[in-house]
Amino acid sequence: MYSRVSIVIVFCVFIFAGCSFFPGEIKTAERLIETAPDSALQILRNVNYDKSLSAAERANYGLLLFEALDKTYQPLKPDSVLNFSIDYYKRKRNSEKLAKGYFYKGRSYNYAYQYENATKLYMLALDNLKGSNNYDLLAKVYSDLGHISVIQNEFKEALEKFDKAVFFASKTNKSKNVLREKINIANVYRYENKFNEAHRIYNEVLTNSSDSIISGKALQEIGVAFFSENIFDSTVFFIRQSLSYPFVDFDKSIRLYVLSDAYYELNKLDSALMYAHESLTYPAPFHTKRECYRILANASYLMGDYKTMAGYMTYYQAYTDSVRLIDAQTRSTIIENNHENTERISKTRRWLWISLSVLPLLFFIGLLIYIKLQNRTKGAEVELEQKSEKLVEYEQKLHSNHEQLKNNLLFKIEEVRKREKAKNKKLTLYEKQEVERKVFDECLYIEDAQAFERLMNFTFNDILIKLSGVNPDLSRNERMYCCFILLGLTNQEISLILDVQLSSLYKLKQRLAQKFNLDSSSDIIHFLKKLWLD
């Protein structure tokens, strides 16, 4: 009898041990994630993800896996695992873990050079981190947003984001994270040709760093700064120093590429070729690979090896096309502004719907008061009138938000126009017109029909959809003209964008009046504004 009971007990122990084995492995990985991410990743990869875990455990596993992959500089895959985690924590309203899921999803897009999608997910992460004390994650989000702004040449915005990254990193008591963000700030100053300030920060980081990876990174960026200043001997000195330090991510390829470029400028073509080839053996971003092929092609040309040069030029052109596609993406600041404006509009609409849903109840209460207390009729009417005034105020706020979207776009155009004027002070009339076209194309996506339509529909309350409903036969120029009228552009600016004469613009306006069944072309503005605000 006792032996049978013992057998049953042992059997049950094995069953429960088997059921809890994988959750225990996940907990072990969670304890190791900060100090030994390689070991944590190895443990997680041995977990039977599909069949052995509950929904909560699978969701936690997904976040841990992507954190381990990120810390060990591995590709952030598979998407399905992280998507499950995001969906789970969205249902459970766990803002902290949902923010982490959005962050790693955004970073996976970031590493794939899809900056529009990355920015949208980073903004969702920040939405879920409001009021959070997860300073490490906040620092990472702002740092990644800063890097995107640097890539898109928005240096003022990049500095603001890196400053926030430094602020939050300083709250984590991880000094190397603070120094890493300070290097990012110094890099922005370097891009702005403020080399004294950049070198001051690089030297500050070197003085305070006890981490060999951070020190190597600082030496690398000092060498890059000297290259930007055309001081090539100093570039070689500091980059060669950085090569003796450990590296992460793309740093090795960047160091070798900059060293190659410096030797090319010093006319040491053999060394330039050698280090460019070596750089290409390491993981590298598109920009670095493109520049390596540029060096290889130019050096081969100077050495008279034209056949080899042609091969390198093919690679150079291919990477140039890839970089051009990356650079053509929507500016992250526009996406951020749209996100913030959408959030404000959503809040306003929520309050408006709440008010509208409360109104019938208030009316019913007022009616009861009127029937039962006729002597207080006047007071009930005053109360209803006050509620109506609040509704009007909400409608006015909604209209104000529409105007704000338009003003944001006009402000962006003016900022880009100032930037271009600062860069191009002495231009001919034709060159000024070309710069003006470039400003409008950058801000309004004139050449990208889909992007232009998305921006106009967002800014003017689905205006292009409404115009199609009024008359589906409108041409693209006619639809664009309507948007430019609402935006408040002058006839000269519109004719420049559409590349038509002013006389043709007048005829276009006459055609629009006919298509809208208006008595006069002067009624178009009123018609469009009404369509916009309805």
Same domain, 362 and 411: yes
- Max CA distance (Å), the chain: 107
Exposure on the CB side of residue 344, measured as CA atoms within 13 A: 14
- Report yes or no on 437 lying in a domain: no
Q: Considering only 4-8, 198-202, 405-409, 419-423, which range has the smallest mean pLDDT?
A: 4-8
- Report yes or no on 200 lying in a domain: yes
Same domain, 156 and 121: no
Entry pTM = 0.61
Percentage of the chain lying above the pLDDT 70 cut? 85
Neighbours of 428 (CB within 10 A): 8
- The domain total for the chain is 4
Same domain, 395 and 415: yes
Q: Does 187 have pLDDT greater than 90?
A: yes
Q: Does 86 have pLDDT greater than 70?
A: yes
Q: Taking the C-alpha atoms of 174, 180, 182 and 184 in order, what is their torsion angle to the nearest 10 degrees?
A: -150
- Report yes or no on 120 lying in a domain: yes
Q: Long-range contacts made by residues 102-109, C-beta under 8 angstroms, separation at least 24? A: 102/128, 103/137, 103/140, 103/141, 104/63, 104/66, 104/67, 104/70, 104/76, 105/79, 106/141, 106/144, 107/70, 107/76, 107/144, 108/66, 108/76, 108/77, 108/79, 108/82
* Dihedral sign of CA atoms 230, 233, 234, 240 in order: positive
Same domain, 489 and 460: yes
pLDDT in tens, 332-381: 778 877 877 776 665 556 555 565 666 676 767 766 766 776 666 565 56
When mean pLDDT is compared over 24-28, 37-41, 220-224, the highest value belongs to: 220-224
* Paired tokens of 100: 């982490």
Rounded-to-integer distance, Cα 321 and Cα 327, Å: 10
Q: Which of 292, 327, 362 is the last residue of a domain?
A: 327
Q: Taking the C-alpha atoms of 81, 86, 89 and 93 in order, what is their torsion angle to the nearest 10 degrees?
A: -170
CATH code for position 473: 1.10.10
- Report yes or no on 354 lying in a domain: yes
Same domain, 366 and 476: no
Same domain, 206 and 107: no
Residue-range definition of the domain harbouring residue 368 = 333-426
- Report yes or no on 211 lying in a domain: yes
Same domain, 356 and 303: no
In our burial notation (b when 16+ CB lie closer than 10 A, e otherwise), range 271-307 reads bbbebbebbbebebbbbbbbbbbbbbbbbbeeeeeee
Same domain, 421 and 320: no
Of the pLDDT bands very low, low, confident and very high (cuts 50, 70, 90), residue 488 is confident
CATH code for position 71: 1.25.40.10
Same domain, 127 and 138: no
Q: Does 393 have pLDDT greater than 90?
A: no
Same domain, 402 and 261: no
pLDDT of residue 409: 82
Q: Which of 327, 350, 385 is the last residue of a domain?
A: 327
Mean pLDDT of 383-406: 67
